[in-house]
């Protein structure tokens, strides 16, 4: 069901991280067109990015984020070849992680 694609690139002393996360991101307010029932809430609540066991980005989300969210951010202190790990946890207790290398 879920997948995370990550790209991390150095430019000067800054690392730019771009990631695409596959997730339904249901708010709990949308009705199913066939049944008329509300589709249960199912959304990412927390996204964490680590490099070398150090947290470089932490985000708290709610149901207001679109399906298959795209995230981009920059940080200082990375180096070419360092690992980048993105982990998310959703409101139903599911988690997903992926790693990439800074280029």
Q: pLDDT, tens digit, for every residue of 7-38?
A: 999 999 999 999 999 999 999 999 999 999 99
Q: pLDDT, tens digit, for every residue of 80-97?
A: 999 999 999 999 999 999
Residue 63 has pLDDT above 90, yes or no: no
pLDDT value of position 1: 46
Global confidence as pTM: 0.90
CATH number of 3-101: 2.60.40.10
- Sequence-separated (6 or more) residues with CB below 8 Å from residue 68: 20, 21, 22, 23, 25
Mean pLDDT, the chain, integer: 95
Task: Tell me what the mean pLDDT of segment 38-62 comes to.
Answer: 96
Question: What's the Cα-to-Cα distance from 69 to each of 29, 32, 90, rounded to whole Å?
Answer: 18, 21, 13
Query: CA nearest 1: which of 34, 25, 18, 29?
Result: 25
> What string of DSSP letters covers 12-58?
TTEEEEEEEEE---B-S-PBPTTT-PBPPPB-EEEEEEEETTEEEEE
Identify the band that residue 2 occupies on the pLDDT scale cut at 50, 70 and 90: low
Question: What's the Cα-to-Cα distance from 94 to each of 7, 34, 42, 45, 46, rounded to whole Å?
Answer: 23, 27, 10, 10, 11
């Amino acid at each position: 069901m879920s997948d995370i694609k990550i790209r991390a690139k150095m430019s000067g002393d800054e690392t730019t991280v771009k990631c695409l996360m596959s997730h339904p991101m249901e708010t709990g307010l949308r009705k199913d067109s066939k049944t008329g029932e509300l589709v249960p809430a199912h959304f990412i609540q927390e996204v964490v990015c680590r490099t070398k066991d150090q947290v470089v980005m932490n985000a708290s989300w709610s149901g207001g984020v679109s399906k298959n969210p795209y995230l981009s951010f920059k940080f200082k202190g990375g180096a070419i070849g360092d690992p980048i790990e993105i982990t998310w946890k959703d409101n139903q207790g599911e988690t997903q992680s992926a790693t990439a290398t800074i280029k």
